[in-house]
Amino acid sequence: MWAFLSGNQVDIKDAKVSIMTHALHYGTATFEGIRGNWNENTNSMYIFRMKEHYERLLRGCKILRIKLPYTVDDLCEITIDLIKKNNLKEDVYIRPLAYKGAEMVANLKLHEVSDDFALVTLPFGSYIDNSNSIRCQTSSWRRPMDSSMPTGVKLTGLYTTNILAKTEAVSAGFDEAILLNQDGTVSEGSGENLFMIQNDKLITPAETDNALLGITRDSVIELVTKEIGLEVQQRRIHRSELYLSDEIFLTGTAAHVTSVGELDNREIGTGEIGIITKQIQDLYFSVVVGENSKYLDWCTQISMD
């Protein structure tokens, strides 16, 4: 297996950093999670909305004052080359990481600290089983406010909170955690955005609710509006509204579109995958494997020999 590190493709066994690396000590890195979806029928990989992921990575770089010698197009090309090199003919997870690579452990600054970029592409099946509804728990951990930690980009340091929340939920026998904001309104899952459905209307927390503005979330909003013809509202959601909603689902690169059948030991709707959630899942899955010609421009097709 090959990785990309400091400008070169290298054997993943040799893709190493020093114990002195700034990002390892302070969480001064930004990452993306991108999916390549394998389609057996066309013998091709379809990378979903790669450009948008790299645009978000570069927004994270701007906040952390990381200067990469690459444009979005360069990063897409580096990714395609690595996938071809690894010759993976299955679903893959693409993980770029831009980080403060300097060996400076006692330096609490972003400037005067050099940067680096790494990329790995790994076989990746389902993160959460989407064929059934999952059981969620409202986390005792709160989503940080953007005024404490930028929440609109994927900064590695921010994920300590998400990992505490996911660990707490799974240790208590649930599948996923839902994080509230500091004021008790709903933010998102530990690695997913949240939608609830009430009277055929989709409602999802807004940007100001400290949720990451997910690329899957954006795709679902467009698909639901244009293809299913339902209204989507972006607004604050109270915790108790979730208990009383007809359907809830989570969206994310790793989790795709996942139905929530139970929250805090209360059944959501019938507890099974809801009718609208199922419709969205079917549409989304056809799009991400390049089988919906209308949305092919969201996919970068790599044909494998």
Q: Report if residue 150 touches ligand PLP, rule: CB under 6 A.
A: no
Residue nearest to ligand PLP (CB): 214
Please report how many Cα atoms fall inside a 13 Å half-sphere around the Cα of residue 141, on the Cβ side: 20
CB of 95 to ligand PLP, least distance (A): 11
Q: Report if residue 253 touches ligand PLP, rule: CB under 6 A.
A: yes
Torsion of CA 99, 66, 68, 101, to 10 degrees: -30
Among 96, 252, 274, 290, binds ligand PLP (CB under 6 A): 252
Cα separation, 304 vs 48, whole angstroms: 17
The piece of 36-44, 64-72, 188-196, 286-294 that touches ligand PLP (CB under 6 A) is 188-196
Q: For residue 183, with 0-12 CB atoms within 10 Å meaning exposed, 13-18 middle and 19 or more buried, which class applies?
A: exposed
Q: Report if residue 94 touches ligand PLP, rule: CB under 6 A.
A: no
Q: Report if residue 214 touches ligand PLP, rule: CB under 6 A.
A: yes
User: Would residue 297 be called left, alpha or beta, if left means φ above 0 and alpha means ψ between -120 and 50 degrees?
Assistant: alpha
Q: Report if residue 33 touches ligand PLP, rule: CB under 6 A.
A: yes
Q: Decide if 249 contacts 195 (C-beta within 8 A).
A: yes
Q: Which of these is catalytic: 154, 166, 201, 294? A: 154
Site string for ligand PLP, 110-149 (x = CB under 6 A): ----------------------------------------
Name the residue nearer to ligand PLP (CB basis): 10 or 170.
Answer: 170
Q: Decide if 65 contacts 28 (C-beta within 8 A).
A: no
CB of 56 to ligand PLP, least distance (A): 7
Q: Report if residue 188 touches ligand PLP, rule: CB under 6 A.
A: yes
Name the residue nearer to ligand PLP (CB basis): 37 or 193.
Answer: 193
Joined together, the tokens standing for residue 72 give: 């979005």
Residue 124 has φ and ψ, to the nearest 5°, of: -155, 105
Name the residue nearer to ligand PLP (CB basis): 18 or 126.
Answer: 126
Residue 147 has φ and ψ, to the nearest 5°, of: -75, -15
Among 22, 100, 166, 217, binds ligand PLP (CB under 6 A): 217
Collect all residues with Cβ–Cβ distance below 8 Å to 93 and sequence separation of at least 6. 33, 34, 35, 36, 121, 122, 123, 124, 254
Please report how many Cα atoms fall inside a 13 Å half-sphere around the Cα of residue 229, on the Cβ side: 0
Among 136, 203, 212, 289, binds ligand PLP (CB under 6 A): 212
CB of 191 to ligand PLP, least distance (A): 4
Cα separation, 234 vs 296, whole angstroms: 26
Based on the residue annotation, tell me whether 89 is a catalytic residue of this protein.
Answer: no
Active site residues: 154
- Which residues of the shown chain bind ligand PLP in the complex (CB under 6 A)? 33, 162, 188, 191-193, 212, 214-217, 251-253
